[in-house]
Amino acid sequence: MPENLPVRAQHSRGASIAIRRAEGQVPYRDALAEMDVRNRAIAAGEASELLWLLEHPPVYTAGTSAGEGELLDPRFEVVEAGRGGRYTYHGPGQRLGYAMLDLTKRGRDVRCFVHALEGWVIDTLGDLGVESWRSEGRIGIWTRDIDGSEAKIGAIGVRVRRWVTMHGFSVNIDPDLSHFAGIVPCGIAEFGVTSLARLGVTITAAEWDRALLARGEAFLNMLPENPDR
């Protein structure tokens, strides 16, 4: 059966947020095309909002601020993502959440949306026993690696078009961390990348999805109301 996130009536006027879980790997370019179509449909009032949980085959994606010198070894396909941010790696063992929400229903506050998205990931990681945090001046979700140093465990990158959001977040469950060596992740060279598996947390993608969705209502409650809707 289709799943839906709970939505407060004053925000949605009875609408629901659909949830799509991809079981196999979705090529990145295919995902971009699907997000584009869904974005236009949501903006036109022809489709519900959507949270899409998925994985990609190995790919490097370039955000709008990506620097040429940050692509160190293009061993995988490199795709212009159209989102904010710099270079990011996506691949098997990493779970992505693409959130396509209509911000005309949710305060038209992009900064608040990004903050809420970060908080959703941080709270979910906390439920799994992993403390994580935002770091001033550094994009992403950070935690303490096994050697005690700070390391990135999740990435954030969004685009907003016609007040409908695209892209979202990624969390490292058990990817091949050596694949990150082909780029300077998010333009930050002095810190490493880690994963739940490296930190000793064994979890499947389905288990991650359940933990994330259990926090779905709290995420929505972090978004402001729009008094005009």
Judging by DSSP bridges, how do beta strands 78-80 and 150-161 pair with one another? unpaired
What percentage of the chain carries pLDDT values higher than 90?
79
pLDDT digits (tens, 9 = 90+) for 38-53: 999 999 999 999 999 9
173 Cβ neighbours under 8 A, 6+ residues apart: 93, 94, 95, 195, 196, 197, 203, 204, 205, 208
Catalytic sites, residue numbers? 186
**Rounded (10°) angle between helices 110-127 and 205-214:** 120
Instruction: Please tell me whether 84 is known to bind a ligand.
Output: yes
**Rounded distance, CA 84 to CA 81, Å?**
8
Does 3-221 carry CATH code 3.20.20.70?
Answer: no
170 is in an annotated binding site: yes
pLDDT value at 227 more than 70: no
Q: Is 137 annotated as a binding residue?
A: no
> What is the percentage of the chain residues whose pLDDT exceeds 70?
90
Considering only CA atoms, which of 173, 182, 175 is closest in space to residue 211?
173
Give the predicted TM-score (pTM) of the model.
0.91
Strands in 78-80's sheet, in edge-to-edge order, are 78-80, 59-62, 87-90
Tokens 């109301």: give the residue.
Answer: 225
Q: How far apart are CA 151 and CA 127, in angstroms?
A: 19
The reply to whether 85 sits in an annotated binding site is yes
Q: Where are the domains of the chain?
A: 3-221
Please report where in the chains the tokens 């050697």 appear, as a residue: 147
Q: What is the pLDDT of residues 171-187, one digit of tens each?
A: 999 999 999 999 987 66
